[in-house]
């Protein structure tokens, strides 16, 4: 039995996609005879080789990744399929799915996993699976995280359209198992699809790190180089913590905005830069640099926008949990429920409350904080493993 781990949106060497595809490839190696991770054919070839990925998918999302060089990539209308499709990207994605099923001779004993699914990748696969005889179809594992399922302008409500396709596929005998990254999203999907939905975070792929006692207490803001992750609030939060601390016994590490956004917010950057004890990292850093920064940090600040993260989880939170770093985040996000339930940190209502919580956390004994984080990590990972076992188990 083989597992095909599919991410057509894995096109950039930085960010979470490469790391996540690696996690999902390694996490289930004891359950399958072979695992084949499939990424975009525009991902840097050196990264593909280093990670042992298979560069496979055409790219459907140039509109959402303007920095990706698509020169030489097939035009969306390059397919020879003359059937009707709502748009040419669905046509191209359906061709890709057919090619996957045929070139790898995918059969009923195989599983196809979309670990953080995208609209066209899944729609194309559903189309292709619908063309197979019932007895020849592999099983489809769909993990919703609330991001790329919305990546189309053809439909006014992309997720609703995608869910209608999934419902229709299940009605026609395609074996589909569904999970979501947060409990709130899982509950929503269960009602929409009429099936039970597992809650699945990142698979555990990292060891907890001891908290260093020989350096100032350091708050890390990984992935903060975006507006929806609270970049514009960092100056206020850092300044409030610095005033409350009164010295440099608390320090900060954060990323800056990409150039295309930063040029419009230089004043905000200068405010952050002027605060003593702040280390600024580039907008894009590689995974090794992020791991090393986690190693010399003690906690993470996640001032994420509650409206944007109404259903979405946080890869940063799951990584911080794996490394044994507590988080402070805002009320209203879907992952705040996980923080509260598992004791992964603290949930607050405002920037002012985040400042107070940060000051209180920095005053705790580090060994006590480390043990609290280890206990929360243990509870979260045990439940996550059990949830994956339920979700992926075959009848």
My answer on whether 146 and 20 are in the same domain is: yes
Of 134, 166, 200, the last residue of a domain is: 200
Q: Both 99 and 241 in a single domain? A: no
Q: Does 11 reside within a domain?
A: yes
Q: What is the pTM assigned to this prediction?
A: 0.90
Task: Return the pLDDT at 267.
Answer: 80
- pLDDT tens string, the chain, 395 residues long: the values are 999 999 999 998 876 788 889 989 998 988 999 999 999 999 999 999 999 999 999 999 988 888 888 876 766 666 667 778 889 899 999 999 999 999 999 999 999 999 999 999 999 999 999 999 999 999 999 999 999 999 999 999 999 999 999 999 999 999 999 999 999 999 999 999 999 999 999 887 788 999 999 999 999 998 766 778 888 899 999 999 999 998 999 999 998 776 666 666 678 888 888 999 999 988 777 778 889 999 999 999 999 999 999 999 998 999 999 999 999 999 999 999 999 999 999 999 999 999 999 999 999 999 999 999 999 999 999 999 999 999 999 87
- Note the pLDDT of residue 76: 66
pLDDT of residue 177: 97
Looking at the structure, tell me whether residues 299 and 260 fall in a common domain. yes
If asked whether residues 143 and 265 sit together in one domain, one would say no
Together in a domain, 276 and 362: yes
State whether 104 and 173 are in the same domain: yes
Asked if the structure places residue 211 within a domain, the reply is no
| Residue-range definition of the domain harbouring residue 236 | 217-379
Task: Please give the tally of structural domains in the chain.
Answer: 2
Structure tokens at 364: 């705790």
Question: Which of 144, 171, 200 is where one domain is finished?
Answer: 200
Looking at the domain assignment, is residue 393 inside a domain?
A: no
Task: Answer whether residue 37 is part of any domain.
Answer: yes
**CATH number of domain containing 296:** 3.40.50.2000
The whole-number pLDDT of residue 394 equals: 86
CATH code assigned at 19: 3.40.50.11930
> Is residue 210 included in any domain, yes or no?
no
253 and 333 assigned to the same domain: yes
Predicted confidence at residue 195, as pLDDT, reads 96
233 lies in the same domain as 193: no
Does residue 124 sit in the same domain as residue 231?
Answer: no
């Amino acid at each position: 039995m083989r597992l095909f781990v599919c991410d057509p949106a894995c096109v950039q060497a930085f960010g979470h996609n490469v790391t996540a595809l690696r996690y999902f490839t390694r996490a289930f190696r004891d359950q399958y005879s072979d695992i084949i991770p499939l990424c975009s054919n525009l991902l840097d070839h050196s990264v593909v080789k280093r990670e042992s990925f298979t560069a496979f998918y055409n790219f459907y999302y140039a509109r959402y990744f303007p920095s990706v060089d698509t020169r030489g990539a097939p035009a969306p209308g390059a397919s020879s399929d003359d059937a009707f499709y709502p748009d040419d990207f669905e046509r191209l994605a359906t061709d890709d799915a057919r090619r996957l099923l045929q070139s790898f001779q995918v059969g009923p004993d195989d599983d196809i996993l979309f670990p953080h699914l995208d609209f066209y990748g899944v729609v194309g696969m559903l189309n292709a699976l619908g063309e197979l005889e019932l007895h020849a179809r592999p099983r489809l594992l769909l993990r919703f995280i609330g991001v790329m399922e919305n990546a189309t302008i053809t439909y006014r409500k992309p997720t609703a359209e995608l869910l209608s396709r999934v419902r229709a596929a299940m009605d026609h005998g395609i074996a589909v198992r569904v999970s979501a990254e947060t409990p709130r999203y899982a509950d929503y999907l269960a009602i929409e699809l009429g099936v039970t939905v597992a809650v699945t975070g990142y698979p555990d792929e990292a060891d907890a790190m001891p908290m260093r006692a020989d350096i100032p207490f350091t708050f890390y803001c990984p992935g903060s180089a975006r507006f929806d992750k609270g970049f514009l609030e960092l100056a206020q939060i850092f300044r409030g913590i610095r005033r409350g601390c009164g010295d440099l016994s608390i320090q900060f590490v954060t990323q800056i905005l990409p150039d295309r956004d930063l040029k419009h917010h230089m004043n905000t950057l200068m405010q952050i830069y002027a605060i003593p004890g702040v280390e600024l990292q580039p907008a894009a850093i590689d995974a090794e640099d992020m791991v090393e920064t986690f190693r010399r940090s003690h906690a993470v600040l996640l001032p994420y926008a509650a409206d944007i993260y109404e259903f979405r989880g946080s890869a940063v939170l799951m990584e911080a949990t794996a490394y044994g770093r507590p988080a402070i985040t805002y009320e209203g996000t879907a992952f705040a429920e996980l923080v509260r339930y598992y004791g992964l940190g603290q949930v607050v209502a405002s920037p002012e409350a985040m400042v107070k919580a940060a000051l209180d956390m920095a005053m705790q004994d580090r060994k006590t904080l480390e043990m609290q984080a280890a206990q929360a990590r243990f509870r979260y990972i045990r439940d996550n493993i059990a949830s994956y076992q339920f979700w992926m188990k075959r009848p």
